[in-house]
Amino acid sequence: MSRYPWRHNTSEDIANQRPSQWETPAGAQEKANQAEQNAKDYTDAHSEVGAEVNQNAYSVVNGIQATSKTDSIDIEAGTGIIVTPVPLEKKVRITAGGTSIPGLHGAEHVGHGADPIPNATLTDSGLMSAADKNELVYSRGTFPELPDRLNDFDTQLADFMYLGLASRYGVDPSIGTADATALLNDYFAALKAKGLKYAYFDKPHTYNVSGVLTNARDLILLGNATIKSSNLDNYYVQICNTQQHYNGKYNTKIYNPNMFTTLKSAITTGVVNVCVWGDSISTGSDCLGISYGNNVPFSNWAPDGLTPSDSYYKRLIDLLTTQFPNVTFNFYNRAIGGTNIQMWKDPQTFNGVGKWWVDHVAETNADLLIVAFGMNNGSIESGREFAYNMKQINDYINANFTKKPSMAWMTAPRSALTFAYPWGSAAVQFGRDLAAYAAREYGKTLGHYVIDVGRVSNIKRTGKDFENPILKSLAVTDTEISAIVTGNYLKNGSEYTISTDGHYINFPVGLKDFVFEFDAKFPTGMSNGGENIWLAFNQFSRGTAQETVSLIFPKHSGGKGAINIFNNLLDMSHWPGSDTYYEAAAGWDDNTFRTFRVEKRRDLLEISVNGVRVYRGRAQINNIPGAFEIRKNSSVGTAFVLKNFKIYQGTYRQYVPTLTDTEMWGPYIADDFNTKPGIGGNGVNHPSTIGIQEVYCTALQEFVDDLASV
C-alpha cells in the first residue's frame, strides 16, 4: 500500500503545499469539467447579444475613432485651462486658471473678456463687485420709488414751464417731408387737453402741411421750426423762433402839415367835438361836456363788454380828457352794430331823426372824426371795396361838411381764427385783412392818421409784423421752381412754352410781398394787336379775377412792346381798368430773351425790363397772400418761351406773440355770440377786457400821445 493514498481532489494539497496524493480518475474529470466551465464564464458566456468579442477600446469621441483595443485619447488644456487627472477617483478635473489671461469664455460675455472675468469699470463691462452689489442693495432699499419718480419726471419734462415739448409728443424730424397735418393737430389737441398755452418745437425741422391746422387756435407756437403750407387757411399759424418783443410804434402818421389843423384850432378854444363812426365795436352813447376834472351822466352800451367800461370808446374818452385836462370834450357816437363801410350813405335814425348816415356825422360838427369800420367786411368781395368807399367818404366830406374835421382811420383786427365760415376761414380772414390794409395804405394817400389796431393785433397774436417785408430767396433754380410749379404748358429742359389760351404756369406760393422774375422770348414777325402775357399776382383763386394783373404785349399798337398795369383789378367795378401804361421804343418780337421783374413791398409796386424800372405805383386794393400765374392771353397760337424763373418771398420780422384768440375775443363757442364769462367778449369779433387793453388801448394811447404834439 502506498504511503500516498488515492485522493478524490488533490487541489487542496497543492494549495497547502503538502505532498500531492494520487488523484482518482473521477476527481481529475471533475477538475477538467470545472476548468471548462471557468473558461466559459470568463470569455464569451456573458457577452451581450450581437457584441463583438474583440472590439476596440472605444468607438468615436468628437469625431476621433479608435483603431485597437488599446487606443487612448489625450485631454489637452487650452489657454487659461488646467487639466488634472485623479487616478484614484478615476476622474479628470478641468478648471480655469491664471489671473489675467485673455480667454474666449470671458470674451463671449463681456466686451474685454478675461478668465477669470474682471469686475466692471466705467468703460468696460464685467462682473459686479461686492462694493457695487452693496450699493445696489442699499439704493433699492432706500429709493424703492425711483423708477416711478423717473417716469413722473419724464412726463413732467414734456410740459416743463408750461411748454409742451414737441419731441416728447412724437413731433420731431423723423416725419421727414411727409404731410404733418395730422401729427401737428394731434399734438396741439393734446396740449390744449392739458390746459397748456405754449407749443415748443425743440428740434429744428420744416413741417409740410397740406391740410388745415384746426387745433392751432389758442396756442402760441415757439421754437426753431417752420410750418410750410400752401393751404392759405394756415397763413396766420406761425412758429416764433425769437425771444425779441416788439417795442416800436404801431400807428401811421405821414407828414401832412394840415393833418390836425381843425383839431388844433379847437384845442385853443378849450372845446373839442369828437365823433366816432363805425360798427358794433365802436357803439356807445353821446357824452357831452366832459373834461378831466368833472363827470357827466353817461350810459355806455359797450358790445359784449364785461362791464360798461369795457369798450374802446369809453377808454378813448378817458385818454383824451387825461391828455388835455384843460379842454372840455363833446363825444358824439354815430356807430351802428352789424354795419360796414359800404353803408355810409344809407338812411339811419339818430335822436328820432332819419337821414343819410354820413349826414348824421356832419351835424356833430366834429373837430376830430374817427372812422372805424372793417370788422364786418368778412369776405374778399367786401374787403376789396374798402378803399373805394374811403375815397367816396373823403370826397363827400370835402364837398359837403361845413367844417372839415381832422380825420383818423382805425383799422379793424382780424376776427377769431376759427378755421370755419363766417369767422375764421381764409377768405373771411383775408376780407377783414384787406379792409385793414386799405385803411392803412389808402389812409396815407388821403393824408390822414391811421390808428392801426389791426397791426397791433397781428403782432401780438401771430408775432409777425406783416407791414415791413424783408425779401428772402424762395426758388431761384430750375430744380426749386420745378418742385412748386403747376399748370398746363410744354417744357423742354428749363424752358417753358405757352401758345394757346389754355396754357398757363402757376406758382402757388401764398405771398403778399415778393420779387418775381423771369425771361421771356417772343418770335419775330408778330402782328400788332392783342397777343400778350397775362401776369397775375396776389391771386387768391384761379379764374375769379381775385388777383392783380399786368399785361405784357410783345407788339402792341404802333408796333411797340408795352405793359398795361391793372393794380385795381380786384375792384374793377369802382376803379379805372388800367392804372398806367408803359410803351417801349420798339417791339419785343425779335426772338431775344428779355428779363421781366415785378416787385411788391406793402403797397409799392415796381416793374422792370432788363434791369430798367419802367413802372412805380401803388397797389392799395389787393394784398392777398396768393399765387403767381403766367398765361397766354390770346387764341392765336404764337409760342412764347419763358425760362429762368426766380421767386423771392417777403418775410417778416418775428416777435414773441403774447395773445391767444381766447384772450383777444373771449372763449369761442360755435353759434354762441353772447358775452362770455370771465373776461367778456363774444368769442369771435367783440374784444374781451384783455383785447381792449392790450390791443385797442395800445393803439389809442399812441394816437393820443401823437395828438399832444399838435
Residue pair 309/316 in contact by the 8 Å Cβ criterion: no
Mean pLDDT confidence for 90-96: 78
Are 222 and 355 part of one and the same domain? no
Report the phi/psi class of residue 32: left, alpha or beta, with left for phi > 0 and alpha for psi in -120 to 50: alpha
Are 503 and 431 part of one and the same domain? no
Give the pLDDT band of residue 1 (cuts 50, 70, 90): very low
The reported pLDDT for the residue numbered 157 is 55
Alpha carbons 372 and 340: distance in angstroms, whole number: 9
Structural element, H or E, at residue 432:
helix 426-445
Q: Is residue 265 part of a domain?
A: yes
Q: Is residue 156 part of a domain?
A: no
Q: Is residue 592 part of a domain?
A: yes
In this model, does residue 547 exceed pLDDT 80? yes
In this model, does residue 646 exceed pLDDT 60? yes
Share of the chain above pLDDT 90, in %: 68
The reported pLDDT for the residue numbered 109 is 53
Alpha carbons 43 and 31: distance in angstroms, whole number: 18
Residue numbers of the domain that contains 495? 471-653
Which of these three, 183, 209, 240, is where a domain ends?
Answer: 240
Alpha carbons 432 and 445: distance in angstroms, whole number: 20
In this model, does residue 164 exceed pLDDT 80? yes
Alpha carbons 710 and 225: distance in angstroms, whole number: 46
Are 625 and 504 part of one and the same domain? yes
Are 525 and 597 part of one and the same domain? yes
Mean pLDDT confidence for 47-70: 69
Mean pLDDT confidence for 37-49: 59
Are 399 and 311 part of one and the same domain? yes
Please tell me which residue, 130 or 26, carries the higher pLDDT value.
Answer: 130
Q: Is residue 19 part of a domain?
A: yes
Q: Is residue 137 part of a domain?
A: no
Give the pLDDT band of residue 197 (cuts 50, 70, 90): very high
In this model, does residue 107 exceed pLDDT 60? no
Are 496 and 431 part of one and the same domain? no
Are 341 and 230 part of one and the same domain? no
In this model, does residue 158 exceed pLDDT 70? no
Mean pLDDT confidence for 666-672: 92
Are 406 and 542 part of one and the same domain? no
Residue pair 175/207 in contact by the 8 Å Cβ criterion: yes
In this model, does residue 76 exceed pLDDT 90? no
317's CB contacts (< 8 A; 6+ apart) are 287, 290, 329, 331
The reported pLDDT for the residue numbered 59 is 76
Write out pLDDT tens, residues 167-186.
999 999 999 999 999 999 99
- Supply 243's cell numbers: 425771444
- CATH number for position 572: 2.60.120.200
Residue pair 425/419 in contact by the 8 Å Cβ criterion: yes
Are 382 and 516 part of one and the same domain? no
Share of the chain above pLDDT 70, in %: 85
3-state secondary structure labels for all residues of 596-626: EEEEEECCEEEEEECCEEEEEEECCCCCCCE
Write out pLDDT tens, residues 593-632.
999 999 999 999 999 999 999 999 999 999 999 999 999 9
140 three-class SS: helix
85 three-class SS: strand
Which of these three, 653, 673, 697, is where a domain ends?
Answer: 653
Q: Is residue 153 part of a domain?
A: no
The reported pLDDT for the residue numbered 301 is 67
Q: How many domains does the chain have?
A: 4
In this model, does residue 208 exceed pLDDT 90? yes
The reported pLDDT for the residue numbered 49 is 57
Sign of CA dihedral 618, 621, 622, 623: positive
pTM of the model: 0.79
Write out pLDDT tens, residues 267-323.
999 999 999 999 999 999 999 999 999 989 888 766 776 766 679 999 999 999 999
- CATH number for position 370: 3.40.50.1110
- Supply 138's cell numbers: 442699499
Write out pLDDT tens, residues 137-157.
777 666 556 565 545 545 555
Write out pLDDT tens, residues 242-260.
999 999 999 999 999 999 9
The reported pLDDT for the residue numbered 695 is 98
Sign of CA dihedral 432, 434, 436, 438: negative
Please tell me which residue, 76 or 34, carries the higher pLDDT value.
Answer: 76
Q: Which residue has the cell 351802428?
A: 336
Residue pair 584/562 in contact by the 8 Å Cβ criterion: yes
Are 222 and 276 part of one and the same domain? no
The reported pLDDT for the residue numbered 166 is 95
Residue pair 466/652 in contact by the 8 Å Cβ criterion: yes
Are 539 and 603 part of one and the same domain? yes
- Supply 653's cell numbers: 420780422
Give the pLDDT band of residue 88 (cuts 50, 70, 90): confident
Q: Is residue 504 part of a domain?
A: yes
Residue pair 372/386 in contact by the 8 Å Cβ criterion: no
Nearest to 623 by CA among 494, 436, 414: 436
Structural element, H or E, at residue 445:
helix 426-445
Using CA atoms, how far residue 368 sits from 273, 450, 704, 710, in Å, is 7, 13, 12, 13
Nearest to 552 by CA among 616, 633, 666: 633
Q: Is residue 353 part of a domain?
A: yes
Alpha carbons 590 and 483: distance in angstroms, whole number: 31
Please tell me which residue, 102 or 701, carries the higher pLDDT value.
Answer: 701
Alpha carbons 555 and 634: distance in angstroms, whole number: 13
Are 646 and 663 part of one and the same domain? no
